[in-house]
Structure 1
Amino acid sequence: MGGAMNLDPSNLNGRMLINIDSEEEGTLLVSCSGGIRSKMSVPVQYEDVSEQYSTLAIRIRGLKGGHSGMEINKERGNSNKLMGRFLMDLNSVVDFKLASINGGAKMNAIPREADGIILVREEEVSRVQDKISEWSKIFANELQGIDPDLCLKVEKLDENITRVFSDDSKIKVLRMLFLMPNGIKSMSMAIKDLVQSSTNLGVVTTTNESVVFDSAVRSSVKSLKKSICDDMIVLTEILDGSIEFESDYPEWQYNPQSEIRNVFEKVYEDIFGNKPHISAIHAGLECGLISDKFNGNIDQISFGPNIYDVHTPNEHISISSVERMYSYLVAVLKEIK
């Protein structure tokens, strides 16, 4: 990415780019998403525990997780969002104290686990257990065939908790978790089955001063990425929180009038006798950075030979595929000329 980020467009006269960086023969990439990281914080006021409570750990386990770009379309459960739904409903029937809430490992990964530590009066423990049973069935029904190993459980802890969130802080944190945008926001109408914009609440962390919500926002349309960010800004303002954005990278928007795509399609059919697969990726590519350098005024396409187990010690490439794609590239260049 460093080379693309530091490219000076004034050094180039051409406005057509062939990117040989794809990993599947016969697939032509014509778009990629841009993205940005959001970090939202809700300040927490703590108060001392003055009564006798039972300490319970609400845990979510067994979700598949996955890459928040490539696998967001699989509708897998997000442990942070599931925890938010459970705790909001529990709060309507049990007057619990919230000590901490944590979930997820990486901002750009669909979170698999989450933990909420709560304090309840001993006589209300059974009501919490009843809610666990109720929501276990709800989640199992919603995620059947997607996340069959989901486990929602409660554990009684011997830990002595001495401070908890104030009631006002608790409800603001729960509302943020419950209302936070997450998942697919729009689908492309130009490319079948392509996620156009999405957001993933990847990490929730309790600190001494606040609860922090880390999300990855992606879109192949700049204005839709901004729209998701604007939703987050408004939500943060309503709940007296703060928000920061970082690691912004540009998208490569699909161009329905692309001349280079038409050439690649025609030549592929001439050589191989069938149509190539036109695809896009809901993740970042150098093409997004290069497109941004030229304010979108560059015609691009990405293709390549079959490469397997990319970015692992087992990465390898098909030599015969390289030969075919080389011949294909030469034919494309002749057609352009």
Structure 2
Amino acid sequence: SLVCLSVASERTLQTPTNYFILSLAAADLLLALLVLPLFVYSEVHGGEWLLSPRLCDALMAMDVMLCTASIFNLCAISVDRFVAVTVPLSYGRQGRRQLLLIGATWLLSAAVAAPVLFGLNDVRGRDPAVCRLEDRDYVVYSSVCSFFLPCPLMLLLYWATFRGLRRWGAARRAKLHAQVPRRPSGPGPPPLPELPGGPRDSLPRALDCADPAPGLPGDPCSEDCAALDAIPEGALPPHARRRRRAKITSRERKAMRVLPVVVGAFLVCWTPFFVVHITRALCPACAVPPRLVSAVTWLGYVNSALNPVIYTVFNAEFRTVFRKALNLGC
């Protein structure tokens, strides 16, 4: 709830990456409100389902859709970050692309879960005292669509993104170290605008600056980059305006640092569940203890509680807004 409130109310948090975090938080919140209470009710009664089969089918569909929405949102974030690093000029001009990508994640998640609502769970000999997915083929299908296909894609995109950021940072530092200040002699173009708090000579150096990559050492030109951002758009040369538009903002960089932590927590929490889940479907004769099934299921649900904690620990802007909201509440 705090994540949703923070992004909705604070203009500084309304960035493309944080819209994906907002969508992910919405999936976590809906899971907590619509799915977990019924699972707790079933656990309290020793795993026996005492409610109607139709409600069980709705529960299974919501569970599949919201868990799928979580990982699809993480996959969409990795696509967004990859585009931001590899095609920064295009990224700055595609304001609606993020919203379309978020909409696509929810539509695909609903499509994966829809067969359960359309009667797929109504099989002969169904035990009304057990609430589960009855069709083994669907279990395999949903596991592949929700986890075993998106996760490798997501990890590959993040690997390519951070590899590109490291190359970008290394090339920029090498260029800065090799750069020799030159003063033109004779007639030339009109003098460049004065930098706030510094001489004009620091502007060309600032024009070559880009935001440092996450995980890389700080760049010595960061102050000049900040000074470049302070110059009005009309006072900059055309190539400087293009560079400014192509830059990934500092807020987005901070958000990028927390995303791998979110992805890692997701994989640690959900991988055991999907491995056990698909093993039971492919090997009906394999003995899987009910306590193991319950443990890996709740380990997956714990991920929905971890995400907001991760944001507060690793993202200073979220932490500041959370503190402000909690102080107002007190």
Report TM bin, short chain.
under 0.3
Tell me: higher relative CO, structure 1 or 2? Use CA pairs within 8 A at least 6 residues apart. Answer: 1
Give the TM-score taking structure 1 as reference length: 0.25
Give the TM-score taking structure 2 as reference length: 0.26
